[in-house]
């Protein structure tokens, strides 16, 4: 069997989903590759750096990445991982304003759940979108402590009962890998890579042109980090 790769070019049904092990291998592969991606703009007074990789073989779209380093004045590793690895979708409503509703579709295991997220955008003429994904968490307690949170798109069409839990909206798709890692200096690195298609008739070039600024503006809703971000923005 060929190795599993993160992509939005093929949307898997619940019966086709990969194992934790396959997802973690693929996630680590993407995270490692971001170290060689093209450097884009820096944001938040040079605190957040963006990178990108053009659409390649097997990709459904180009990839984008954001990287930031945080000291204890922002949040500890435990605080960051709590926001990413526990109740992620509910937390997402706090730091992504366009997310209006999140629904747990099915819990598959202690580390894998299917969630559906409903978005309403402020842009004129952009219809609401729904993104349904498999969420997988991975935590390595060995030094340096590392937590990885991965999302891949899911097609619920084989199960009418699960489909009822999706909001009625244009279906979009995305893959994302978020990683928080303790650094030797005691700080925490937050790295996120994503590839996406919003569905509908939005051109890919428009998505690519705005993705860097979009992902750089995301902040985890820990009180100290949010407060400091507001002071520097």
Return the biggest CA–CA distance within the chain.
51
Higher local confidence (pLDDT), 223 or 26: 26
* Residue 215 predicted with pLDDT over 50: yes
In this prediction, residue 27 has a pLDDT band, given cuts at 50, 70 and 90, of very high
Say if CB 192 and CB 177 are below 8 A apart.
yes
Which of 8-12, 34-38, 50-54, 221-225 shows the lowest per-residue confidence on average (mean pLDDT)? 221-225
* Residue 34 predicted with pLDDT over 70: yes
Strand ranges for the chain from DSSP E: 38-43, 48-53, 63-70, 99-109, 112-119, 129-140, 146-153, 170-171, 173-182, 188-197
| Domains, in order of start, for the chain | 14-232 (3.30.530.20)
How far is it, in rounded angstroms, from Cα 104 to Cα 32? Answer: 30
Higher local confidence (pLDDT), 89 or 26: 26
* Residue 38 predicted with pLDDT over 90: yes
Q: Closest by alpha carbon to 135, among 172, 99, 181, 103?
A: 103
What pLDDT digit, counting tens, does each position of 105-125 carry? Answer: 999 999 999 999 999 887 667
How far is it, in rounded angstroms, from Cα 80 to Cα 6? Answer: 24
What pLDDT digit, counting tens, does each position of 149-161 carry? Answer: 999 999 999 999 9
* Residue 82 predicted with pLDDT over 60: yes
Task: Encode 152-176: b = buried (16+ Cβ within 10 Å), e = exposed.
Answer: bbbbbeeeeebeebbbebebbbbbb
What pLDDT digit, counting tens, does each position of 161-197 carry? Answer: 999 999 999 999 999 999 999 999 999 999 999 999 9
Say if CB 158 and CB 14 are below 8 A apart.
yes
What's the average model confidence in pLDDT over 131-152? 96
In this prediction, residue 24 has a pLDDT band, given cuts at 50, 70 and 90, of very high
Higher local confidence (pLDDT), 92 or 18: 18
In this prediction, residue 18 has a pLDDT band, given cuts at 50, 70 and 90, of very high
What average pLDDT does the structure give for the chain?
A: 87
In this prediction, residue 126 has a pLDDT band, given cuts at 50, 70 and 90, of confident
**What pLDDT, on a 0 to 100 scale, did the predictor assign at position 219?**
62
* Residue 2 predicted with pLDDT over 90: no
In this prediction, residue 148 has a pLDDT band, given cuts at 50, 70 and 90, of very high
């Amino acid at each position: 069997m060929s190795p599993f790769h993160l992509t939005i070019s093929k949307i898997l049904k619940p019966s086709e989903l990969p194992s934790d092990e396959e997802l973690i291998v693929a996630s680590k592969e993407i995270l490692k590759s971001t170290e060689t991606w093209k450097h884009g703009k820096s944001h938040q007074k040079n605190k957040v750096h963006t990178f990108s990789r053009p659409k390649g073989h097997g990709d459904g779209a180009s990839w984008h990445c954001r990287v930031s380093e945080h000291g204890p004045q922002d949040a500890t590793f435990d605080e960051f991982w709590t926001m990413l690895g526990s109740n992620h979708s509910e937390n997402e409503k706090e730091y992504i304003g366009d997310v209006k509703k999140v629904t747990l579709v099915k819990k598959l295991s202690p580390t894998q759940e299917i969630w559906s997220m409903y978005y309403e955008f402020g842009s004129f003429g952009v219809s609401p979108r729904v993104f349904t994904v498999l969420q997988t968490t991975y935590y390595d307690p060995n030094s340096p402590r590392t937590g990885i949170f991965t999302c891949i798109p899911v097609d619920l069409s084989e199960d009418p009962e699960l489909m009822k839990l999706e909001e009625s909206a244009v279906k979009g798709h995305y893959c994302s890998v978020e990683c928080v890692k303790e650094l030797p200096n005691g700080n925490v690195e937050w790295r996120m890579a994503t590839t996406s298609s919003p569905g509908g008739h939005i051109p890919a070039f428009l998505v690519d042109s705005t993705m860097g600024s979009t992902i750089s503006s995301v902040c985890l809703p820990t009180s100290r980090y949010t407060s400091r971000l507001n002071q520097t923005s």
